[in-house]
Amino acid sequence: MPTTEKARAKDVIEISDLQGGYADYQVLYNISLKLYEGCITTIIGPNGCGKSTLLKTITRYLPMFSGSIRCNGQDISIYSRKEFARLVSILPQWREVPSITAEQLVFHGRFPHLGFARKTTERDVEICRQAMQETGTLDMRQRDIRELSGGERQRVYLAMTLAQDSEYILLDEPTTYLDIAQKYEIMELICRICAMGKTIIMTLHDLPLAFAYSDKVVVMENGRICCCGTAQEVLRSGTVDRVFSVKSHQVNVAGNKEYIFLPGNSSKH
């Protein structure tokens, strides 16, 4: 959960005046943002606002039109493909479900660390086993991915991402298509992964989860950042109410801060 100590963490990814998008179609405008070490940063915004495009640009899936992205003080363009994959990993929202076992999928996370012959070592095997243990997937290692439930499959994909052993993990809508219990299970797992020293940057549609589990919330609208700060700071700004046409409330439940979003004035649409 968010802490004041995390709020004082050093910035490790710095985005400056970023313009980006697809071919000749611009999606991102003047994005400037600092992402902090060991924190969970969640990007929220209406459909089509540029959240996924921003993640893809950070991970070099999409080129920048202009501006810069620096990771650990270095421009991301200087890293080789393998070096960058060891530093930054992404779990996209949309992906094919292969006909392989859970264990085989998790081993895919080790590819950036393997030599030309792609031979795994005892260390690779141990890292994958540990990743599956941390995500509660060790007992399903021989099961076909296609046979798993949505929550089980997502935990295996997170195990694969954890096995990649990158410093920064980017997650695009990690709770999509999961039921409420599975969503909380995945969010608690993401918190545990962050507690291992990983820096998490993710997008979410689920506003209560975004506000309850994030150290920092970034609100996007029409390809721009319109608000950024802690959950309380963003909530107090009124930006979420305006952007999503909702009425937001913070309540205390069993000593925990929870967030409720009710239908607001929809006249702006």
Mean pLDDT of 79-107: 90
Say how far apart CA 196 and CA 211 lie, in whole Å: 21
Tell the residue number behind the tokens 């179609």, with chain if given.
Answer: 25
User: What is the residue extent of each domain of the chain?
Assistant: 1-72+167-235, 98-166
Check residue 6 and give its pLDDT. Answer: 55
Say how far apart CA 71 and CA 75 lie, in whole Å: 6
With beta carbons less than 8 A apart as the criterion, state whether 124 and 114 touch.
yes
Confidence category of residue 5, pLDDT binned at 50, 70, 90: very low
pLDDT tops 60 at residue 266: no
Check residue 256 and give its pLDDT. Answer: 82
pTM of the predicted protein model: 0.90
Domain 1-72+167-235 has CATH 3.40.50.300: yes
> In the numeric block, which tokens belong to residue 254?
């069993």
- Phi first, then psi: give them for residue 66, nearest 5 degrees: -165, 175
Say how far apart CA 241 and CA 224 lie, in whole Å: 17
